[in-house]
Amino acid sequence: MKDTKQKTVIVAGSNYSSSLCMARSLGRAGYKVKLYRLFQGRPKLGGLMTHLRPESHSKYVDGYRQYIVNDSKEFAEMLVQNAQQGEKQLFVPIDDLTTSLLDENYNMLKEYYIMPNISDTQGKINELMSKQKQMELAAESGLDIVNSCLVTAENGVFSIPETVTYPCFVKPNISRNSTKNFMKKCENSQELQSTLAEFSNNQKIEMIVEDYLDIDREYSLLGLCIKDKAVAPGLFVVEKGGTGDRKGVTLVGRIVDTAPYKEFIDGILSFVKSLDFEGLFDVDIIQTKDGRMHFIELNLRYGASGHAVTESGANLPVMFADYKLKGQPVDTDISVKTTGKTFVSEIVMMSEYIKGTMSPGTVKNLMTSNDIYFIKDDEDPAPYRHYSRFYLPATALKILYTAKRMIKK
């Protein structure tokens, strides 16, 4: 007898844009979507953007809760208490923190939820969050990687290998939390030493120090892996990125055809399949001036930019849900129906506007000239109506930010 009961998917994480996009991708396909908004510590009063919750207004959201995560085990116990009796629900994390929390408590939670995993084994995803480990495995799979080394620093004490060349780029080995402020280009050994000393002040950190390459383009590859089957139909190129604490995050991107990159993408898929991973993923890639493509990082979750792939005709979140909840096979021939579409992230745009790196005219142009938006949506308008109310206080914040910056000068 065919099961006609509506299936439930829980989407969780800290990024309201990613949550909203995931809810729309799944909700339009008939899934019931519940959202958990997670915070590490109580949101600060001054962080007005953090307090916005446009995702809670979406017509595709059946339930919405906010949680402050102080303890990993307490969070897992809360999920057990709220689990649906008699039927496992699919749990989709949309940031590194939530992915890590689920993996830390996988053995406790797998009785109640279907979750991304590696070899059905607790802790394996967290192990692979190490960029150093990823690069070792990627190199073994034949992918081009950036030459790098791992430096452990504690309270300003560390040792820099002689193999480091300059300029170099420093970034955290594990990006479980927001770490954009811990990424920096260093021109020489003195700058690298002062940077590591600053970053490790009163704490222990693991940092990747890698060669600084002459980058021509940055790409992200979006896909789905079910152990020995993997597809990656979504490739986009970064047209414009954020600055400061949004450095490395896409502001404007464009969906591109995967055909010219088939050999490299096939290598990526072979690498991901070798991990015995089940879940959505995205891969950060750079292309250097000489035309070579380099693997940078594997993210074992799906962010907001994946919505641009859905809107271009390849709904990977639904494919994942259909496989895990309905037993439908993975379409290994799936591809985007339309390339060339551009998208803009309203969160990054607003951050740049407040910091004074973007004019009101540019904001207006971005909100009228692109094909895909993560919050603005004509079929689901309530979230953007909620979000657009922030434009006025954002202007006030912009004035305060500019005045503070002038005083410092």
The domain that holds 201 is classified in CATH as: 3.30.1490
Domain limits at 12?
8-116
Instruction: Please count the CA atoms within 13 angstroms of the CA of 64 that sit on its side-chain side.
Output: 15
In sequence order, what are the beta bridge partners of 220?
236, 284
Shared-domain flag, residues 315 and 283 = yes
| Pair 204, 233 in one domain | no
Judge if pTM exceeds 0.95: no
Residues 104 and 179 in one domain: no
Both 198 and 224 in one domain: the answer is no
Helix (H, G, I), strand (E, B) or coil at 391: helix
Do 197 and 263 share a domain, yes or no?
Answer: no
Could you read off the pLDDT of 152-189 as tens digits, one per residue? 999 989 999 999 999 999 999 997 654 566 888 999 99
- Segment 207-235 shows an average pLDDT of 95
DSSP state of 375: S
Q: Does 168 fall in a domain?
A: yes
Residue 296 CB: number of other CB atoms within 10 A? 22
Q: Are 193 and 69 within one domain?
A: no
Residues 234 and 163 in one domain: no
Residue 26, token pair as written in the block: 């799944």
Q: Is residue 71 part of a domain?
A: yes
Q: What is the pLDDT of residues 361-387, one digit of tens each?
A: 999 999 999 999 999 999 999 999 999
Phi-psi region of 109 (alpha: psi -120 to 50; beta: other; left: phi over 0): alpha
Same domain, 268 and 294: yes
For residues 196 and 236, membership in a common domain is answered with no
The count of domains in the chain is: 3
Q: Is position 138 within any domain?
A: no
Same domain, 42 and 97: yes
Domain of 42: which CATH number?
A: 3.40.50
The verdict on 298 and 369 lying in the same domain is yes
112 in a structural domain: yes
Q: Look over the chain and give the mean of its residue pLDDT values, rounded to a whole number.
A: 91
What confidence score (pLDDT) does residue 403 get? 66
User: What are the structure tokens assigned to 30, written together?
Assistant: 């008939």
Amino acid 364: pLDDT: 94
Instruction: Report the SS3 class of residue 160.
Output: coil
User: With contact defined as beta carbons under 8 Å apart, do 258 and 233 qualify?
Assistant: yes
Beta-strand (E) ranges in 129-262? 148-154, 168-172, 184-186, 204-211, 215-226, 229-241, 250-256
Is the pLDDT at 146 greater than 50? The verdict is yes
Any domain includes 409:
no
The verdict on residue 31 lying in a domain is yes
Say yes or no: 189 and 223 in one domain.
no
